[in-house]
Amino acid sequence: MTGGKTPFLWTLFSAGGTLAALLFPVHLFLSGLAFPLGWLEAPSHDSLLNLVQHPLTRLYLFFLISLPLFHWAHRFRYTLYDGLKLKHLTTLIAVLCYGCALIGTVVTAYTLWNVP
Amino acid sequence: MGSREKLPPTVTLAVTRYRPEEESEPTLQTYEAPYRKDWVVLDALNYIKDKVDGSLSFRWSCRMGVCGSCGMMVNGEPKLTCAAFLSDYLPGPIRVEPLQFFPIVRDLVVDMTDFLHKLKKVKPWVVREEERPLSEGEYRQTPEQLDIYKQFSMCINCMLCYAACPIYGLEPGFVGPAAIALAQRYNLDSRDIGAQERLDILSGKDGIWECTFVGECTKVCPKNVDPAGAIQQYKLTGAAHWFKSVLLPWGRK
Amino acid sequence: MSAEAHYTRYHPQWYRRRVSVWWWLQSWRYTKFVLRELTSVFVAFFAVITLWQLRALVDGPQAYTQFVRGLKSSPLVAVHGVAFLFVLFHSISWFHLAPKAMVMRLRGKRVPDWVIVGLNYFAWLIASGTIAWLLLRG
Amino acid sequence: MDVFSRDVLVVGGGGAGLRAAIAVAEANPRLSLAVISKVYPMRSHTVSAEGGAAAVIKPEDSFDEHAYDTISGGDWLCDQDAVEAFVKEAPAEMLQLEHWGCPWSRQPDGRIAVRSFGGMKVERTWFAADKIGFHMLHTLFQTSLKYDALQRYDECFVTRLLVDDGRCRGVVAIEVATGRIFAIAAKTVILATGGCGRVFPFTTNGAIKTGDGMALAYRAGAPLKDMEFVQYHPTGLPFTGILITEAARSEGGWLLNKDGYRYLQDYGLGKPEPKPVLRSMELGPRDRLSQAFVKEQEKGRTFEGPYGHYVHLDIRHLGEELIDRKLPFVRELCRKYVNLDPVKEMIPIQPVVHYMMGGIHTDIHGATPLPGLYAAGEVACVSINGANRLGSNSLTECLVFGARAGRAAAGFAAEQKESNPAVFAQASDEQKRLEESLLRKTDGKERIASLREEMQKTMEACAGIYRTGAALQQAAQDLHQLQERFHDLRLEDHSYTFNTELTGALELSFMLDVGEAIVASALARRESRGSHQRTDHPQRDNEKFLAHSLAYRTPEGLPRIDYLPVTITRWPPGQRVYGK
Ligand SMILES: Cc1cc2nc3c(=O)[nH]c(=O)nc-3n(C[C@H](O)[C@H](O)[C@H](O)COP(=O)(O)OP(=O)(O)OC[C@H]3O[C@@H](n4cnc5c(N)ncnc54)[C@H](O)[C@@H]3O)c2cc1C
Ligand code: SF4
Ligand code: F3S
Ligand code: FES
């Protein structure tokens, strides 16, 4: 693998890592634990939808979902290489990892585009 | 010597032996050495070599943590044996092995020719378009400019960071922490203009992008060089360059 | 295998060690590293959940209610609990690595690492507070 | 046996060797060039130098001042033509190193910063915090990588010089990793193998400083000059002998005896002042300071510890900020090796063998009397250090005379025709000797370590800071006996692969030769001068001994001492005055 696209993918990885580090804990805590367990009152469908309709929120959500996916793709790819010594499968793994992230990104974009 | 509290009079060392003429694999051999409070592991090894078994081989010279020759694994961690006090490993036995991930030449001696090739590859010297004649005096460099690269110039080439970096173990081609830190040392030196040449080399195969920021290199470094930091900063520069060259292809010379 | 290379005089016969697939289990430092890397799986997990939630939201109140009910199932809560710990681990390790990659200088002096780490935590608090406020104000 | 051939072969990859090699590559890129070293070059002992390197740079300084400080510091035993060449070329050499990237410490405006040093009247010691040797060596080594013409034989141990027809023709060496013995036929050989501190038990010198080059040249017929002048550094850490750099004193550190008294004032070194005064008190020359320590000890005013007598070096009043900026290594070493923080506590120190003023006799171009053989660095004696070297002159010496030797050797090599086949026979003799008398020998009962310890004890007892004729006489006999016993040596290691016992044995035999030369030279010099203090001849005697001693190896193996007048150009012998 030459310098090639790596710097770009690494930038996505870093940006995603930073977003995830800053924002995921609170989102996860609220929507995965606090709301389902009733510790805090969850916002209603309408108010959420209201929020999401705002273009800034949509932009926010786009990055919030897609960049961490690329963060995962990049990091997981190397974890597979190193942790399982799978360097010989490099192309396959790369295609799978970044491919998934790309699909996730497209679906996110499509969904956000179609917010009623 | 002197009066001391109750301390173990001796300490056991389990030392790697590998004699290629006789055996095809390394084995561990145990030795007893006297315990002294001010002894380092290297002192115990020297005691063994002098008094017990003259055939034990290892490298050392300065005994003050600056020549970089006495790196070994002490209880599984890369250490300068001249700076690893026996008292920190009591009650023993202390396992002393050759640096991890390097081929073993003999006993505690590893082969490090690989590193020397890599070092040369990153052009660790001041690159200039034109040398300034000596008659014009020194290149000015303020203490602040010196401070920018100083830390990375402290590397004693002891190889502990390589023995700590699993990526080097998995991927022996990886240029590795110390060599990259030294490349960065020259990149950041206000007298040097070789950064682009080095980046071309190091953004290629086996360069900075191999590193996954395990960070162990920095933890074991006896001279606080922080190779992990050097590499990440280098990646940032590499990425910036990439964007520049893609977005402004005409902007590069 | 049986034909082991034999020593010949004046020729080095180095012993080369192979790194085992389980290298990261052999030392806690390495295990910790691999765990850190595996936080990415939970990051991805939550990104997908968020995407899913978004789709449910867009699909209308009914789909959304169903999704919310799904979140309350105990296995999913448990998974979220674990994911939360991993994501926290990610945040903390990420903040602490940040000063290595980003060197800031102020008036010629390098900004000490703890300041940068502190700034990260500060940003974290602000961001978390803002988001919580947006979601909780009702 | 493999025989390689080179135009110029540099033995030693320390400061002097690398500087010489680069000089050859620059002087004549067509020459084939190699550096052979028993350790990887960056392991060479230059790496541990701490304090700095001297060269005139300040406007208020002058070459004459530097020359005078050097000559009076050397108790007029310096060759003044050499000193003049040295001080004049020093600044350019240091600048060259700056251009190669050495991270010298700077003033706020970006110019080179200098500090004061013992025995120097003006600040002229360039420094890179307190790791100058390290930075210098790595700068030179890394720069040397850029010369493709420069080939290296790393971890190859030179065992013998090949001499034929009155000329040096190459070397025989062992590749340590494989045990392969090979010869390099060379038109010129530059020895830059460093000093011999390991002849003594308590030294700042690393394990590799075993006087190999001195013994190699001595055996090949070149004389060793001024070998009786062994420098004790006043401030070493007990037990390890780790050096606390002179910079600790030049920044303002004090030497205190057990009553907390700055005892140097009792030894004609000036009055105590709160701020350091150049050429006075703690900034006096090393020989005087070490001698004062012995006197204090005799008066019972030193501390007694498990590793002998000691006094205190106090740098607490310098403050944490200055210590961290200018003496970080001192703090690191103290914390690590004596478990104390010099910011808060006083450092125990005692004099320790540090440097060899003597060495292979060379002229000011680094040429030895044996044609084709050059020498530079601590292994050589160009005679700029005389009877006592001033701190920070020796790194500069490595550069100036390394470069000079390189250029001269390049010139000599270019004039020579192909080398002489007689060396092949000699080389295979040497191979036989190594294999039969050491590697494959299974009888014998002496151990390396015990002979080495006895030698070191002998040297310390007779050739220390103060010496007497009787003790030296005794030592000469003891060393001779040790030489005999060396033949009865037995190695436990018969492996060809990285056999450090074999190299250890060779080093021991080199050290025995060097030790004999030191003792014989000291015995013959019946006066006291600089670092050579004879209690039975306490006065300096310019009439008889304003001369360099030359030790030649006789066919029986014993040294024969001869004398050579000192070159005096402009500074007639005077009194060494400090503290005024
Ligand atoms: C602790 C300490 C601090 C010092 N501080 C200062 C200071 O502040 N200022 C100053 O001016 N001076 C200082 N000195 C003195 C100075 O460092 C040395 O005199 C100088 O570095 C010697 O350099 P060199 O190149 O001659 O030898 P070295 O650096 O010792 O190099 C010798 C080389 O020869 C090679 N070699 C030796 N034997 C053989 C063999 N048989 N075969 C092949 N290769 C061989 C070695 O491998 C090595 O590469 C200090 C010395 C010490 C010990
Ligand atoms: S970076 Fe540190 S650990 Fe690595 S070789 Fe240099 S000094 Fe040793
Ligand atoms: S341990 Fe290795 S992976 Fe990178 S951060 Fe250090 S080089
Ligand atoms: S012996 Fe030099 S670093 Fe340990």
Ligand 3 atom 7: residue of nearest CA: B177
Assigned token pair, D385: 């250090």
pLDDT tens-digit profile of D142-197? 999 999 999 999 999 999 999 998 999 999 999 999 999 999 999 999 999 999 99
Ligand nearest, relative to CA of residue B155: 2
Q: Which residue has the tokens 């250890």?
A: D504
B247 confidence band (pLDDT: 50, 70, 90) = confident
Q: Is C78 on the interface with A (CB under 8 A)?
A: no
Using CA coordinates, name the residue in chain A closest to B167.
A82
Q: Which residue has the tokens 């020895």?
A: D191
Q: Does residue B68 have a pLDDT over 60?
A: yes
Q: Which of A8, A81, A82 sits opposite B242 (nearest CB)?
A: A8
Q: Is C2 on the interface with D (CB under 8 A)?
A: no
- Min Cα distance C117 → chain A (Å) is 12
Return the pLDDT at B127. 96
Q: Do B239 and A1 touch (CB under 8 A)?
A: no
Q: What is the count of structural domains for chain A? A: 1
CATH classification at residue A64 = 1.20.1300.10
Find the D145 Cα to ligand 2 centroid distance in Å: 19
Task: Classify residue A1: in a domain, yes or no.
Answer: no
Q: Do C15 and B18 touch (CB under 8 A)?
A: yes
Q: Is C3 on the interface with B (CB under 8 A)?
A: no
DSSP track, D254-285: EEE-TTS--GGGGGTS----SS--TTSGGGS-
Q: Do A7 and B205 touch (CB under 8 A)?
A: no
Q: Is B227 touching ligand 2 by the criterion CB < 6 Å? A: yes
Q: Is B70 touching ligand 4 by the criterion CB < 6 Å? A: yes
Return all residues near B52 (Cβ < 8 A) that are at least 6 apart: B31, B32, B33
Are D110 and D98 contacting, i.e. CB atoms less than 8 angstroms apart? no
Q: Is B243 on the interface with A (CB under 8 A)?
A: yes
Q: Does residue C138 have a pLDDT over 80?
A: no
Q: Is B151 touching ligand 4 by the criterion CB < 6 Å? A: no
DSSP track, D400-444: HHHHHHHHHHHHHHHH--S--THHHHHHHHHHHHHIIIIIS----
How far is it, in rounded angstroms, from Cα D479 to Cα A5? 69
Return the pLDDT at B160. 98
How far is it, in rounded angstroms, from Cα D130 to Cα D128? 6
* Structural domains of chain B, ranges and CATH numbers in brackets: 2-110 (3.10.20.30), 113-247 (1.10.1060.10)
pLDDT tens-digit profile of C66-116? 999 999 999 999 999 999 999 999 999 999 999 888 888 887 788 899 999
- Min Cα distance B106 → chain C (Å) is 8
Return the pLDDT at B2. 44
Using CA coordinates, name the residue in chain C closest to B20.
C13
Task: Classify residue A39: in a domain, yes or no.
Answer: yes
DSSP track, A20-71: HHHHHHHHIIIIIIITTTTSSPPPPHHHHHHHHHSHHHHHHHHHHHHHHHHH
What DSSP element (H or E) covers D472?
Answer: helix D469-486
Residue ranges making up the domain that contains A46: 7-113
Which residues of chain C lie closer than 8 angstroms to A104, CB-CB?
47-48, 51
Q: Do A17 and C128 touch (CB under 8 A)?
A: no
Are D259 and D552 contacting, i.e. CB atoms less than 8 angstroms apart? no
pLDDT tens-digit profile of B95-137? 999 999 999 999 999 999 999 999 999 999 999 998 889 999 9
Q: Is B161 touching ligand 2 by the criterion CB < 6 Å? A: yes
Q: Is B213 touching ligand 3 by the criterion CB < 6 Å? A: yes
C51 confidence band (pLDDT: 50, 70, 90) = very high
Ligand 2 atom 3: residue of nearest CA: B221
Task: Classify residue A23: in a domain, yes or no.
Answer: yes
Find the D188 Cα to ligand 1 centroid distance in Å: 21
Q: Do B67 and D42 touch (CB under 8 A)?
A: yes
Q: Is B203 on the interface with A (CB under 8 A)?
A: yes
Domain with CATH 1.20.1300.10 in chain C: 1-97
User: Which whole-number Å values give the CA distances from D127 to A53, B15, B151, C108, D123, in the listed order?
Assistant: 65, 40, 16, 21, 11
Q: Does residue A108 have a pLDDT over 70?
A: yes
Best of B77, B152, B159, B165 to mutate for ligand 3, by most ligand atoms within 8 A of CB?
A: B165
Q: From the CA of D393, give the closest atom in ligand 1.
A: 11
Q: Is B56 touching ligand 3 by the criterion CB < 6 Å? A: no
Return the pLDDT at C2. 38
Average pLDDT of chain D? 95
Q: Is C15 on the interface with D (CB under 8 A)?
A: no
In degrees, rounded to 5, the angle at the alpha carbon of residue B167 between the alpha carbons of residues C35 and B125 is 135
Residue D548 falls in the annotated catalytic set: no
pLDDT tens-digit profile of B200-212? 999 988 999 999 9
How far is it, in rounded angstroms, from Cα C24 to Cα D49? 40
Which residues of chain A lie closer than 8 angstroms to B208, CB-CB?
none
Ligand nearest, relative to CA of residue B223: 2
Return the pLDDT at B3. 46
- Min Cα distance B6 → chain C (Å) is 33
The pLDDT profile of chain D, 580 residues, written as one tens digit per residue, is 889 999 999 999 999 999 999 999 999 999 999 999 999 999 999 999 998 999 999 999 999 999 999 999 999 999 999 999 999 999 999 999 999 999 999 999 999 999 988 888 999 999 998 899 999 999 999 999 999 999 999 999 999 999 998 999 999 999 999 999 999 999 999 999 999 999 999 999 999 999 999 999 999 999 999 999 999 999 999 999 999 999 999 999 999 999 999 999 999 999 999 888 888 999 999 999 999 999 999 999 999 999 999 999 999 999 999 999 999 999 999 999 999 999 999 999 999 999 999 999 999 999 999 999 999 999 999 999 999 999 999 999 999 999 999 999 999 999 988 766 678 889 999 999 999 888 888 888 999 999 999 999 999 999 999 999 999 999 999 999 999 999 999 999 999 999 999 999 999 999 999 999 999 999 999 999 999 999 999 999 999 999 999 999 999 999 999 999 999 999 999 988 887 7
How far is it, in rounded angstroms, from Cα D271 to Cα C36? 63
Q: Do C40 and A26 touch (CB under 8 A)?
A: no
Fold of C1-97: 3 helical TM bundles of succinate and fumarate reductases (1.20.1300)
Complex-level ipTM: 0.94
C5 confidence band (pLDDT: 50, 70, 90) = low
Assigned token pair, D444: 């014998």
- Over range B42-61, report the average pLDDT: 96
Q: Which of B227 and D437 is assigned the larger pLDDT?
A: B227
Return the pLDDT at A2. 40
Return the pLDDT at B60. 97
Q: Do chains A and D touch (3 or more CB pairs under 8 A)?
A: no
pLDDT tens-digit profile of D437-474? 888 888 889 999 999 999 999 999 999 999 999 999 99
Which residues of chain D lie closer than 8 angstroms to C10, CB-CB?
175, 178-180, 496
Q: Which of C13, C97, C108 sits opposite B144 (nearest CB)?
A: C108
Find the B222 Cα to ligand 2 centroid distance in Å: 7
Among D128, C134, D495, C58, CA closest to B147? D128
pLDDT tens-digit profile of A7-59? 999 999 999 999 999 999 999 999 999 999 999 988 889 999 999 999 999 99
Q: Which of C40, C48, C77 sits opposite A104 (nearest CB)?
A: C48
Q: Which residue has the tokens 């027809």?
A: D165
Return the pLDDT at D54. 96
Ligand 1 atom 37: residue of nearest CA: D193
With residues binned 3-state (H G I as helix, E B as strand, rest as coil), the percentages for chain A, rounded to 5, are: 80, 0, 20
Q: Is B58 touching ligand 4 by the criterion CB < 6 Å? A: no
Please tell me which of A63-67, C24-28, C104-108, C111-115 the model is most confident about, judged by mean pLDDT.
A63-67
C1 confidence band (pLDDT: 50, 70, 90) = very low
Which residues of chain B lie closer than 8 angstroms to C12, CB-CB?
20, 105, 111
In degrees, rounded to 5, the angle at the alpha carbon of residue B108 between the alpha carbons of residues B102 and B112 is 35
With residues binned 3-state (H G I as helix, E B as strand, rest as coil), the percentages for chain B, rounded to 5, are: 40, 15, 45
Task: Classify residue A2: in a domain, yes or no.
Answer: no
Find the B68 Cα to ligand 4 centroid distance in Å: 5
How far is it, in rounded angstroms, from Cα B240 to Cα D446? 65
Return the pLDDT at A5. 85
- Over range A73-81, report the average pLDDT: 93
B163 confidence band (pLDDT: 50, 70, 90) = very high
How far is it, in rounded angstroms, from Cα C134 to Cα D553? 92
Ligand nearest, relative to CA of residue D207: 4
Q: Which of B170, B205, B235 sits opposite A10 (nearest CB)?
A: B235
Best of D38, D174, D251, D400 to mutate for ligand 1, by most ligand atoms within 8 A of CB?
A: D38
- Over range B79-103, report the average pLDDT: 95
Return the pLDDT at B251. 52
Of the residues D115, D124, D198, D249, only one is catalytic, namely: D249
Are D431 and D181 contacting, i.e. CB atoms less than 8 angstroms apart? yes
Return the pLDDT at C137. 81
Residue D249 falls in the annotated catalytic set: yes
Q: From the CA of B224, give the closest atom in ligand 2.
A: 2
Q: Do chains D and B touch (3 or more CB pairs under 8 A)?
A: yes
Return the pLDDT at C3. 42
Q: Is B178 touching ligand 2 by the criterion CB < 6 Å? A: yes
